[in-house]
Amino acid sequence: MKLFTIFGNPIHHSKSPRMYNKCFAFYSKNDYCYTRTLLENGQDIINVFRRLKLQGASVTLPHKEWAYKLADEVRGIAKEIKAVNCLVLEGDKVIGYNTDALGFVESIKEFQYESVLIIGAGGTAKALSLMFKNADILNRSANRLQNFTHNTFTWETFQPRKYDLIINTTSAGLDNDNLPAPQEILEQLFQKAKYAVDVIYKTTPFLKLAKQYNLQTKDGSDMLVYQGVLQFEKFVDFKINKQEVAKLMKGVL
């Protein structure tokens, strides 16, 4: 049996097992199985990976930076992002990759925008900042902002201006009614913006508020699919049809 999982906290909401197992079934890989693993301490991620005898794992909030630090080797843009959302066993080494950034860009390819604001300063924000090099970064506190070369702001130092695209990369709204920034700041932003995107794959309070200002909104479902296709390709040792895998994953969502 070849085992795969997704590490996160919380993790009960994840649809990844249904997505990946659907694809395994399509390719008649009955000896492949993908599960969820609640991981409270990110420092344990590689030890748990090895203890479970996994072939691969997805990594979600809040463990992407620990996965980067602890993987035996990191490849591709994950080295620049310093965050890993995909772990793969290659020989006796656990290799880290990042598929978030490319998956997100593919998910909003129909949008027309110039100015971008990223809310949050975690692993996903780092990934997106690599793709949106002129984006501004807004975070509750300043401690993580030092990891960015962009213009950065805390809630206290931020003066809202016009941004075409506003992206929430925080966990606000995942399993609560929280907004990723004070409502008065978001309302000022939404008055001038075109698009609001949340990496969480459901309609969050952030997206609900954006819709009140007639913004075009999108949750993280498409990003989940496109980055998932890239991970699936790394997990398996057989040739896949990316378009077919994307169709299967979208069907689950």
Q: What is the pLDDT of residue 40?
A: 96
Average pLDDT over every residue of 10-19 = 93
Assigned fold of 103-219: Rossmann fold (3.40.50)
Give the contacts of 157 (CB within 8 A, at least 6 positions apart): none
What is the C-alpha to C-alpha distance for residues 193 and 60, in angstroms, rounded to an integer?
A: 28
Average pLDDT over every residue of 6-33 = 96
What 78-85 contacts at long range (C-beta under 8 Å, 24+ apart), as own/partner pairs, is 80/130, 81/123, 81/126, 81/127, 81/130, 82/123, 82/126, 82/147, 83/122, 83/123, 83/124, 83/126, 83/127, 84/59, 84/123, 85/58, 85/59, 85/60, 85/123, 85/127, 85/227, 85/231
Q: What is the pLDDT of residue 81?
A: 86
Which pLDDT tens digit goes with each residue over 32-55? 999 999 999 999 999 999 999 999
Give 140's pLDDT tier (boundaries 50, 70, 90).
very high
Told to judge if 64 belongs to the known catalytic residues of this protein, a careful annotator would answer: yes
Percentage of the chain with pLDDT > 90?
Answer: 92
Give 75's pLDDT tier (boundaries 50, 70, 90).
very high
Residue 229 has pLDDT above 90, yes or no: yes
**Residue 49 tokens, joined:** 């990976």
Q: What is the pLDDT of residue 175?
A: 86
Average pLDDT over every residue of 65-73 = 97
| Contact (Cβ atoms closer than 8 angstroms) between residue 248 and residue 229 | no
Q: What is the pLDDT of residue 201?
A: 87
Average pLDDT over every residue of 248-253 = 92
Q: What is the pLDDT of residue 127?
A: 87
Region(s) of the chain under CATH 3.40.50.720: 103-219
Q: What is the pLDDT of residue 147?
A: 86
What is the C-alpha to C-alpha distance for residues 75 and 84, in angstroms, rounded to an integer?
A: 9
Catalytic residue among 2, 22, 53, 64: 64
Give 61's pLDDT tier (boundaries 50, 70, 90).
confident
129-163 burial code (b ≥16 CB/10 A, e <16): bbebeebbbbbbeeebbebbebebbeeeebebeeb
Architecture of domain 2-98+222-252: 3-Layer(aba) Sandwich (3.40)
Region(s) of the chain under CATH 3.40.50.10860: 2-98+222-252
